Amino acid sequence: MSSVRGEFSSRIGFIMAAAGSAVGLGNIWGFPTQTASNGGAAFVLAYLVLAFCLAYPALMAELIVGRHGQANAVKSLQKISKTKAQKAGAFAVGFGGIICAGLILSFYSIVAGWMMTATLEPVAQVASQDTVANWLSTQSLSRDLVFTAAFILLTVAIISRGIENGIEKWSKRLMPALLTILFALIVYVFMQEGAMKGLKAYLVPDFSLILEPKLLISALGQAFFSLSLGTSVMIIYGSYISKKENIVALGTYVTLIDVFIAFVAGLLIIPAMYVAQELGVQIFSETGQLLSEDTLVFTVLPALFDSMGDIGLFIGFAFFALMTIAALTSSISLLEAPVSYVVEQFGLTRMQATFGMGAIITLVSFTILFNFSSLFGFVIALTTQYGQPLLGLMCCLFVGWLWNRTSLLKEIEQGSPEIGATFFWKIWPWYIKFVCPIAISLVFLSKIIDW
């Protein structure tokens, strides 16, 4: 069924790939820790509302631009632009998204490399390789360089195989594995002392916190990161969807899966924190603040696993394998953004483009590692707090203001002929024109003025 440029061969293939992009460290690490540090259930509620009411319409905009353009992000955005200035703007937004994806991949690979070391450490322990286990668990430049490169190589290996045999095939394998490990861990943690206290903190909201600007801003930022918006990734994945598919239904499934997995990850992490506390591990500072996010994943949870005896080695392995898999299904989408551009724009083969881009991203990652204290936080802030909201906003403006309403409806109607009569069509164009741009601008401004 694939065309020359590549296409997802089935609905399930697209859903697994796009949900794989969306479900990542942002869901399993970011969402639960943000929940814990932003008032528990109040954050969950705000996140659910914002994810469905703002991030989902923005995701639809990106998918629709891609499917209409049937090309990389730059070309797809240019296809809906009329004047020269609009086309230049389309280039800036599309290319900006590709750069943003490349930069996210370079810090994401460093973090994923840490997840790989934490996965392998229990294996080294079981094999009585104490020196190796020690090297894996102690932060060092050599260790980080090796595992960052290894993770990028894994990503390159999948992307070089193309859409159907690479992205789709591996997403279909990895996503069920991720779900299985996640649920198995939840069952185990729920059986431990302290889990119910955590569950209560997670599910019973303190409504007085819900309209806190900081909470809303964090929740919206988290929803945008989680749905992989503003990076051109969803434009490209949209371009691999067949015109016969109901694109609105597909986007809805992806959003539901993404939000569901973030919610379920919270069911694991928050109770696990309270189980750790029950076992004497400190999770909150003296002032009642949650210990910092990286401390949570790399100190609190391993301390919990250690306290479980031998089974803890296995649980630790499963947990970090879960993190690595989640990171991999996201990183393949991040690498596809620059690769698809280079293939279509410069006529390189997929193999050449993938290895070339992989090499550039490795260089950027290494530069970050060599200048860790000045660059790591900077690149994260630049891409997730500025790049993604700004580019996501521009994309909504393109669809809402530049795209003619009739031809927009025509595009969505392919694969879903009844769309014109639905609630989605009545409300979505209005959302994309006004509500999303204003809401995203607010998030963006709040970051600049540090609300």
> d(Cα 323, Cα 259) in Å, to the nearest integer?
17
**Stretches 19-27, 125-133, 338-346, 390-398: which one binds ligand PFF (CB under 6 A)?**
19-27
**Stretches 58-66, 222-230, 238-246, 349-357: which one binds ligand PFF (CB under 6 A)?**
222-230
Q: How many chain residues bind ligand PFF (CB under 6 A)? A: 16
**Stretches 84-92, 225-233, 339-347, 435-443: which one binds ligand PFF (CB under 6 A)?**
225-233
Q: Which of 2, 7, 3, 18 is nearest to 249 (CA)?
A: 18
233 binds ligand PFF (CB under 6 A): yes
Beta-carbon neighbour count of residue 147 at 10 Å? 21
Q: Compute the least distance from the CB of residue 235 to ligand PFF, in Å.
A: 10
333 binds ligand PFF (CB under 6 A): yes
Q: Of 226, 242, 324, 340, which lies in the binding site for ligand PFF, with binding defined by CB under 6 A? A: 226
Which residue lies nearer to ligand PFF by CB, 250 or 334?
334
Which residue lies nearer to ligand PFF by CB, 14 or 225?
225
Which residue lies nearer to ligand PFF by CB, 30 or 162?
30
225 binds ligand PFF (CB under 6 A): yes
**Residues 6 or more apart from 148 whose CB is under 8 A from it?**
109, 110, 112, 113, 362, 365, 366, 369
> d(Cα 220, Cα 223) in Å, to the nearest integer?
5
26 binds ligand PFF (CB under 6 A): yes
Q: Compute the least distance from the CB of residue 315 to ligand PFF, in Å.
A: 22
334 binds ligand PFF (CB under 6 A): yes
385 binds ligand PFF (CB under 6 A): no
223 binds ligand PFF (CB under 6 A): no
Residue with tokens 């990389």: 72
254 binds ligand PFF (CB under 6 A): no
**Stretches 17-25, 80-88, 241-249, 270-278: which one binds ligand PFF (CB under 6 A)?**
17-25
Which residue lies nearer to ligand PFF by CB, 233 or 436?
233
104 binds ligand PFF (CB under 6 A): yes
> d(Cα 300, Cα 450) in Å, to the nearest integer?
29
**Stretches 123-131, 204-212, 223-231, 400-408: which one binds ligand PFF (CB under 6 A)?**
223-231
51 binds ligand PFF (CB under 6 A): no
Which residue lies nearer to ligand PFF by CB, 99 or 132?
99
Q: Compute the least distance from the CB of residue 404 to ligand PFF, in Å.
A: 28
Q: Of 27, 242, 246, 324, which lies in the binding site for ligand PFF, with binding defined by CB under 6 A? A: 27
**Stretches 35-43, 112-120, 328-336, 416-424: which one binds ligand PFF (CB under 6 A)?**
328-336
Which residue lies nearer to ligand PFF by CB, 221 or 316?
221
Q: Of 155, 228, 242, 446, which lies in the binding site for ligand PFF, with binding defined by CB under 6 A? A: 228
61 binds ligand PFF (CB under 6 A): no
255 binds ligand PFF (CB under 6 A): no
Given the rule CB under 6 A, which residues bind ligand PFF?
A: 21-22, 24-27, 101, 104, 225-226, 228, 231, 233, 330, 333-334
